[in-house]
Every structure is written in C-alpha cells, then in structure tokens.
Amino acid sequence: MASNKTDIVNSRLNRRTVLKGAAALGVFGSSFPMPAIAQETTWTLANSMRSVANPYHASFAKGGEDFAKSIGAKYETLATEGNSEKGVSDIRALLQRTGGKLILNVDPNDSPDARVIVEEVKKAGGFVVTQWNKPDDLHPWDFDPNYVAHMSFDGVPTAEAIANELFKAFGGEGGIVALGGILSNVPAIERKLGLDNAIAKTNGKVTLLDFQPADWNEQKAFDITQAWLTRFGDQVKGVFAANDGMGMGALEALRQNGLAGKVPVVGIDGIDAAVTAIEAGEFAGTVAWDPIWTGGMGLAIPYAHATGKIDITKEPREHREFYGTGIIVSKDTVADYKNNPPKVDYNDLWGKATGQIQYRS
Amino acid sequence: MKPVSVLNGNLLRHWRRWAPVVVLLALCILISLFNGNFLTFGNFIRLLNSAAIPIVLCMGATFIILMGSIDLSIEGVVALTAVIVSLLVLNDISPYAISLWAVPIAVAVGGLMGLLNGILHVKLKTPSFMTTLGVGFAGVGIATTILGGATIRISDQTFRFLSLGRVFYIPMAVWIAAAAVAVAYVIQERTRLGRWLYAIGTDEMTARHAGIPIERTRILIFGVAGLFYGMGGVLAAAQFGQGHALISQGRLFTTITAVVVGGTALSGGVGSVINSVVGVFIVVVLANGLVLMGVEPYVQQGVQGLLIIAAVALALDRSRLDVVK
C-alpha cells in the first residue's frame, strides 16, 4: 500500500509551487466576510484518502466511521481519487461548511499537499492528523495546537521481524533470496535495511544469495524466482518479498517447480491472498497494517484535545510524530488474526504507537 | 562493380532475416559460458514457462504492427479478461464456477474489446495509438470497478491445470502458446486476411487501389488480436491463481519490445509472427540470463536497454525504409 504511494511522492516536487499558488488563492478567498449560514456547534469528523477502491483505504475510512459513531458525531469520507487539487479543495470546502469545527484525519495524496492542508486547517481553527506522507521539515509542534500529529509505519523493524519469521520457518540456517521494491522508494529502502539487519544478526547462519528489485510487480517476481531456481537450485531455503504481491509471484514460480510449501515465502501488507497462503502453509508470514486503527485513532487523538481531555501541546514529541504497529501474521498467529481482528481502544490513544518517527535520509 | 554491390545487398538482407536468431543463439552461448545451469532441461522448461504468455500476446500485437498500427490496449484487455475468467471459475467471490467454459467467454470478451478498438479506430478515423490507449484504460477501469480493489482467489484446479498441468514434461501453458503460434501462422500465411494485412502495412494506398477492403480488414485484425489478448488474460489468471486489475502490469512494454526485437518493423509490412516468437525468447532469455550471470540489479536495466537497441539495429531491414520516424 505504502509502496505504491511513495514513488509518486518522489517524482512531483514541482507540484508544491502549484499548490502554494492554490493556497494563496484560498487566502484571498477567505478574506471576504464569512457567509452568515448557521455554524455547526459540534465537531464534524472526516477522513481523507486516495479512494475506497483499495482494501487498505476502505478499512481506513471504516475506522474513522466507527470512531465517529462511538461518540455520535457527524462523519464524512473524502476521496482524492489521486488528485491533489481535488483533495485540497474538498478539505477547504468542508472547513468552510463547518466553520472550522472540523477534525480531519488525512492521508495526503502527495507529501507537499500536507503543508497546504495543515495551513488551511490552522487558519480555520480545526484540527488535523496526517498519515504516511508529509515533507520531512513539516512538524506538528510548529503548528500548535491545530496540527495534532503525524502517523506512519516503520519499514525497518517490520521487515526485520518478518525476515525472522522466514528464518524460523526453514530452521534458521541456509541461503535466502530477496525481492525488493522500486529501488528509489522509501518503503523499499527501509524494508531492505530491515532484512539486512535480520541477516546480520544471524552471524552468518543465514546468507543472502541474491537480491533483485522486482518493482512491486508480481510477474517480474515470478520470472526472477524462476531464474533463481536455475541459478541456486536447492540452496534456496526461503524467499523474502518486500510486499505480498511479489511474494505471490514468487510462490507461483515455486509452485510451477513443485516447491510450493517446501520453500517458505514471506511478504508485507497482509493482503487476503497472503493470509490464505499462510493457512495453506505456503507463506511463512506477512505483516498486516492496521488501517482501522489509523483511521479511527487519527480522529480520536484530536477529538480528545478538542474536548479538553488532553492538551496536545504538552504531549512529548513521540506522541506527535509516531509509528503505528504492524501485526505479524504467521502460521502460529493466523487463526487468531482471522478470528479476532485487531481491536481498537479509543481511550488508549498511544497504546499501539511504537516510537518517534526517524528521518533516515 | 555493380554486380558486387547487388550481391552484397542480397547477402545483407539474407543476414538480417536471420539476425534475431543469431542474437538469440549468441545470448544463449554467452550466458551458458557464465553459468552452466542455463543449458539444463529444468531451465529450458522455466524459459518456456516465462515465454508462454508473452508469446500469446505477441501473436496479436504482431498482426497489428504488421498493419502499420499500434495496440496499446493489451494491458486493459488482459486485465479485464483475467478478472472475468476468475469470476466465472470456482472462486471466493462469485458463485458461477463454470470451470473451463469460462475460457471461451473470456476470449470472446477479448475479441469484442479488439473489435471495439478496430471500429473506433476505423469509423472515427482516430489514430490507433489514441484509440487503443483509451480502450485499454477503459479495460483496467472496468476491471477495477468490478472488484473495487479486491483480488479474486481461484480455487478451480481444473482451470489452474491450464498453467500448472504438465503434458510430456512440458507445462500446459506452453502447449497453448504453441497452438496460438500455429493459429497465427496459418492466419498469416494461408488466409486472405493475412496477405491483406501485409499489403495494408506496406502501402495502404496501393492496397486500396487493388480493391482490398481496408476498413473491414483492419477491424477484423483488431478483433483477432483481441482474441489472443483474451487468451493471454486467461493464462495470466491460471498462472497466478488469482484475478485483479493490476495483473497485466508491465505486459504492454514486454510485448511491443519482443515484437520489435524479433525484427518486425513498427512502420508495418515487414516481419512475421515467427519473428516475434524469437523476439520473445530474446527478451526472456536476457532477463533470465542477467539473473543467472549475477549482473548487479542497478546495471541490469541499462544492459537490457542497450542489448535491445543492438538487437533492433541488427534485425531491422531498413533498406526499404525511406524515413525512420
């Protein structure tokens, strides 16, 4: 999920200028007196994301809706449909309509969008939490109290944990091959780093036979895995894939060679196909993100501040920019994961946070 | 002096005909020098397996390119037909489970998409480039809308036999690809449609004066190409045991590359479906070989690009091209 996002993030720096222009227009527009329509007396809650067409964002929207229901607030879902301008203008319209009484949980379409959105929300007096994408130099504490927090997931420990699941599955000794994402993607770089850490900690027991970027592509992963089987034969004890899609490609290549279930595969993302493959004993594990939690908690934290339950400006920085927890799904935990989907406790605001966000570049 | 130059010209032309095969053999020899495993039976089967779907897609694309047009709808048609076939066999989302009967339906949908390409292109007189791009986007769009971002899991083992099954040690997908080549070859060599598409690709005005029904031929050829893409979609679904809107990602580029590397000219009229089979093997062997030789991933794409340009430069007969666009 995050994988697809960041390649776009990296490639459109000039959009920022466009959006700044758009923001300037917004300033001009709001200098007119506000229309005297009835202003909302209670907070309106909204989640903004790319689209509800993909399972991750569909769950993200559901998380927001669940929380709004639990407090009896009005709730709206905004979809950018991959269009930054639409994303920003929808948010601006909603700020206008709610008279600034808006709590927004946004997964910006593109990193630079975050700045424009935060500035708009601050100006209107609402509260905002951002997810995944923001410029490195944009921090919540610089926009107190309106920019409440930024949430993301750390690829390094996640990849390290899932790599360890892979090692466990083949007995902790032998060679593995690894499929990476697009070389310049932040998640791809983080996940490779996590894998390298895990291998280093085995003190030479596990060796990386080869690493190939398959660009998040199932078909490419299939062809590369086939070539590996020729090159390394039964030296391959396990396959690490930086996302589940590539993992599925590798699994099908193994199946063509009668090795499905004999050579374990791990992936990241927690797609249904991967969970099923874990049950079938063909995948050794995957990491499920927790979009219901991010979808709900991104509203619960600013709501707690808005209603005076906490003062966000007094919270430490690891409560303002933090990583969520990926859920490791493996052979041992898959039944539990399916029967008891992760629960969200809206009173435990940072219970699933795992440390302050680090900037590695 | 004159006879010598004519002789040279003929020799050159003769050599160019075989250039793709020479490139392929040279690649095979080079790779096997680096890694002896390349020449094993197991790897041979794996190469065939990787080549099967691209070959089926190339059969359709070659016809279009021979005609001097281009087809960018490949990924859209493959995505839509893969999703349709996945929904019709035993799966975790829909209740149909009509097993192999789903195959002709999906192939027919591919054919209809192709006909749509052809009709829009001919009747609206829009360039094939834009028409097929649009139809391709529509295909991916419909597939996305049907599934809403989800993935269908196929549990129909009879259907999956199309990819996983082995007959005389050779995967079923390879037999299907071979059949596709046979059908395409017969269309190219033994039917009027085949002769006409060369005539149109070489010089459309002359073909028109000769009384060839240009519009009907174009529409039919796009339809035939769609049938091949439909079959490609079926094989993709059978290979991965799933259907989703992104299953065809990257197929378009591989297919067009293989056709051109095989020696079929983008300007039309020159080439053959057999050339494209060789072209697919050049692309597949190269990808396989770069991993076998342990070439740094960072370097691979560069090497791939250079070798493809080299192959095209060797294979393409430019003696009849006045202008290269």
CB contact under 8 A, A217 and B250: yes
pTM: 0.80
A300 near A346, Cβ under 8 Å?
yes
Greater pLDDT, A12 or A304: A304
Averaged pLDDT, B253-262: 90
Q: To which residue do tokens 């927001």 refer?
A: A64
**A119, A138 in Cβ contact below 8 A?**
no
B323 vs B80 pLDDT, higher one: B80
Residue A305 pLDDT:
94
Closest CA to B140 of B203, B229, B52: B229
What is the distance between the alpha carbons of residues A23 and A116, in angstroms, rounded to a whole number? 6
Structure confidence at residue A55 (pLDDT): 67
Q: What is the mean pLDDT of residues A250-267?
A: 94
pLDDT band at A361 (very low <50, low <70, confident <90, very high): low
Check: CB of residue A287 under 8 Å from CB of residue A270: yes
DSSP-based three-state secondary structure for A41: coil
pLDDT at A347: 87
Least trusted range by pLDDT, from A259-263, A309-313, B292-296: B292-296
Among the partner-chain residues B49, B241, B292, the one whose CB lies closest to the CB of A231 is B292
Nearest chain A Cα distance for residue B131, angstroms? 24
**Cα atoms in the Cβ-side hemisphere of radius 13 Å centred on B22:** 12
Percent of chain A with pLDDT over 70: 87
Average pLDDT over residues B115-130: 92
Q: How high is the pLDDT of residue B60? A: 94
pLDDT tens digits, B228-242? 999 999 999 999 998
Cβ contacts (< 8 Å) between A183 and chain B: which residues? 297-298
Hey, how many other C-beta atoms are within 10 angstroms of the C-beta on A122? 18
Percent of chain B topping pLDDT 70: 92
pLDDT for A121-158, tens place per residue? 999 999 999 998 888 899 999 998 999 999 988 888 89
Distance between CA A115 and CA A97 in Å, rounded?
21
Q: Residue A223 corresponds to which tokens in the numbers above? A: 């062809």
Confidence of residue B10 (pLDDT cuts 50, 70, 90): low
User: When comparing pLDDT for A209 and A339, which is higher?
Assistant: A209
Strands A236-241 and A283-288: unpaired
The predicted structure's pLDDT at residue B36: 85
Domain ranges in chain A with CATH number 3.40.50.2300: 2-153+291-324, 155-288
Sheet holding A327-330, edge to edge: A206-213, A174-180, A236-241, A265-266, A283-288, A327-330
In three-state secondary structure terms, A99 is coil
Percent of chain A with pLDDT over 90: 55
Q: B268 falls in which pLDDT band (50, 70, 90)?
A: confident
Q: How confident is the model at residue B124 (pLDDT cuts 50, 70, 90)?
A: very high
Instruction: Work out the end-to-end distance of chain B between its first and last CA atoms, rounded to an integer number of angstroms.
Output: 32
Q: Express each pLDDT in B62-92 by its tens digit.
A: 999 999 899 999 999 999 999 999 999 988 8
Report residue B87 as tokens: 């929904």
Note the pLDDT of residue B16: 73
pLDDT number for residue B1: 42
* Nearest CB neighbour to A256, from listed B150, B164, B246: B164
Per-residue pLDDT, A326: 85
What total number of domains does chain B contain?
A: 1
Give the per-residue pLDDT at B54: 95
CB neighbour class for A316 (10 Å; exposed up to 12, middle 13-18, buried from 19): exposed
Q: What is the pLDDT of residue B91?
A: 85
CA distances from B88 to A89, A174, A290, B95, B151 (A): 41, 42, 32, 8, 14
Q: How confident is the model at residue B247 (pLDDT cuts 50, 70, 90)?
A: confident
Give CA–CA dist B47/A223, Å, rounded: 9
What's the CA angle centered on B35, arms B31 and B39, to 5 degrees?
A: 75
Residues from chain A that touch B291, judged by Cβ atoms under 8 A, are 210, 212, 224, 227-228, 231
Look at residue B211 and tell me whether its pLDDT is greater than 90: no
Which of A338, A318, A340, A245 lies closest to A283 in space, CA to CA?
A: A245
Query: Residue B91 gets which letter from DSSP?
Result: B
- The answer to whether B55 and B180 are in contact (CB under 8 A) is yes
Q: Is the pLDDT of residue A44 over 90?
A: yes
pLDDT score of A289: 84
CA torsion, points A322, A360, A286, B95, in degrees to nearest 10? Answer: 80
Residue A344's pLDDT is 84
What pLDDT score was predicted for residue A50? 81
Contacts of A54 in chain B (CB under 8 A): 149
CA trace torsion A26, A28, A29, A31 (10° rounding)? 120
Which chain A residues are within 8 Å of B149, Cβ to Cβ? 51-55, 57-58
**A109 pLDDT above the threshold of 60:** yes
Q: What is the DSSP string of A211-255?
A: EEE-TT-HHHHHHHHHHHHHHHGGGEEEEEESSHHHHHHHHHHHH
The domain that holds B300 is classified in CATH as: 1.10.3470
Tell me the residues of A at the B interface, defined by beta carbons under 8 Å apart. Answer: 51-55, 57-58, 183, 210-213, 215, 217-220, 222-224, 226-231, 233, 245, 248-249, 252, 255-257, 271-273, 276
pLDDT the model gives residue A27 = 44
**Do residues A109 and A50 lie in contact, with contact meaning Cβ atoms separated by under 8 Å?**
yes
- Work out the pLDDT band at A270, boundaries 50, 70, 90: confident
**A290 Cβ contact list (under 8 Å, min separation 6):** A324, A325, A326, A327, A342, A352
Q: Kindly indicate the confidence band of residue B267, based on its pLDDT and cuts at 50, 70 and 90.
A: confident
Average pLDDT across chain B, whole number: 87
Residue B317 — very low, low, confident or very high, per pLDDT cuts 50/70/90? Answer: low
Q: What pLDDT shows up at residue A42? A: 85
**In angstroms, rounded to a whole number, what is the distance separating the alpha carbons of residues A147 and A145?**
6
Tell me if chain A has a CB within 8 Å of the CB of B243.
no
Query: Is the CATH number 2.40.30.10 carried by domain A2-153+291-324?
Result: no
Q: Say yes or no for a CB contact (<8 Å) between A227 and B294.
A: no
Residue A7 predicted with pLDDT over 80: no
Nearest residue to A62 (alpha-carbon basis) of A271, B150, A54: A54
- Nearest Cα neighbor of A249 from A281, A276, A214, A278 is A214
Contact A226 B171 (CB under 8 A): no
Residue A187: pLDDT band (50, 70, 90) is: confident
**How many C-beta atoms surround the C-beta of residue A114 within 10 A?**
23
pLDDT at B325: 56
Q: Residue A2: which pLDDT band, with cuts at 50, 70 and 90?
A: very low
Nearest to A179 by CA among A2, A360, A355, A3: A3
pLDDT at B260 over 60: yes
Write out chain B residues lying below 8 Å of A212, CB-based.
291, 297
Per the model's pLDDT, the better-predicted residue between B138 and A111 turns out to be: B138
Contacts 24+ apart (CB under 8 A), B306-313: B307/B27, B308/B257, B308/B261, B308/B283, B310/B23, B311/B19, B311/B20, B311/B23, B311/B261, B311/B282, B312/B260, B312/B261
Confidence of residue B205 (pLDDT cuts 50, 70, 90): confident
Chain A residue nearest residue B141, CA to CA: A53
Question: Would you say residue A1 has pLDDT above 80?
Answer: no
- Expressed as residue numbers, the domain containing B83 is 22-315
Count of beta carbons in the 10 Å neighbourhood of residue A257: 18
Q: How confident is the model at residue A290 (pLDDT cuts 50, 70, 90)?
A: confident
The sign one gets for the Cα dihedral A21, A22, A28, A30 is: negative
Name the closest residue on chain A to residue B240, using Cα atoms.
Answer: A252
Mean pLDDT of chain A: 85
Cα distance between residue A287 and residue A333, in whole Å: 11
Name which CATH class applies to A155-288: alpha beta
Measure the CA–CA gap between A299 and A237, rounded to whole angstroms: 44
